[in-house]
Amino acid sequence: MEDKIRVLLPEDEVDARVEEIGKKISEDYAGQSVHLICVLKGGVFFTCELAKRITVPVSMDFMCVSSYGAGTQSSGVVRIIKDLDEPLAGKHVLIVEDIIDSGRTLSYLIEVLKQRGPADIRICTLLDKPSRRVKKEVQVDYTCFSIPDEFVVGYGLDYDQKYRNLPYIGVVEV
Ligand code: IMP
Ligand code: MG
């Protein structure tokens, strides 16, 4: 059974916005390098597209955390499934997320990574659902798109591990 998917943000719009954010990051980090932390699995498409558009020196590392049980509601319990390979001491860290919903995952991640002595930590997200925020203290530095409270897929985001490969952002119609 194929689900019906409505396009929310077409591919060209997403690409154009990623380009813009990449430029902004390159300006903000001028004269420095940036250490991208890709939050797996959802952040992987966005991280790659973004990294290609950053013109300052880039290094990358990957982390996998889980905040969800089987459903689509954040449980508040965050587990590290795969940790970073490299230390963060002295690095200009930029956490790259697919989407910020309640903010619980990110809030936990920031606390953990702060303790590793980075020079600074900033946050970049493809999507933000501000109306869903529980952790109000989470400050997002770069947001590509703020979206309404709908469950989205594509560009790395999944529904039951499906649709990550869609080149656009869509909503699964129920
Ligand atoms: P938070 O901890 O509630 O902010 O949840 C963040 C994580 O939940 C994201 O990194 C996604 O993996 C997942 N998530 C939240 N909303 C969506 C959605 O609309 N589609 C797909 N995954 C989502
Ligand atoms: Mg995620």
Ligand 1 nearest atom to the CA of residue 97, by list position? 10
Determine the distance from the C-alpha atom of residue 72 to the mean position of all C-alpha atoms in its chain, rounded to a whole number: 17
DSSP 123-156: EEEEEE-GGG-S-TTPPPSEEEEE--S--EEBTT
Percent with pLDDT over 70 in the chain: 94
What's the whole-number mean pLDDT along residues 116-137? 94
Report if pTM > 0.85.
Answer: yes
Determine the distance separating the centroid of ligand 2 and the alpha carbon of 12, expressed in angstroms.
Answer: 22
Mutation probe of ligand 1 site: the residue of 46, 68, 109, 131 with most atoms within 8 A of C-beta? 68
CA distance linking residue 99 with residue 101, whole number of Å? 6
pLDDT of residue 4: 93
The mean predicted confidence, pLDDT, of the chain is 93
pLDDT of residue 74: 59
What's the whole-number mean pLDDT along residues 129-141? 90
Query: pLDDT of 11-43, one tens digit each?
Result: 999 999 999 999 999 999 999 999 999 999 999
Predicted confidence (pLDDT) at residue 71 exceeds the cutoff of 70: no
- Residue 138 in contact with residue 114, Cβ under 8 Å? no
What's the whole-number mean pLDDT along residues 94-100? 97
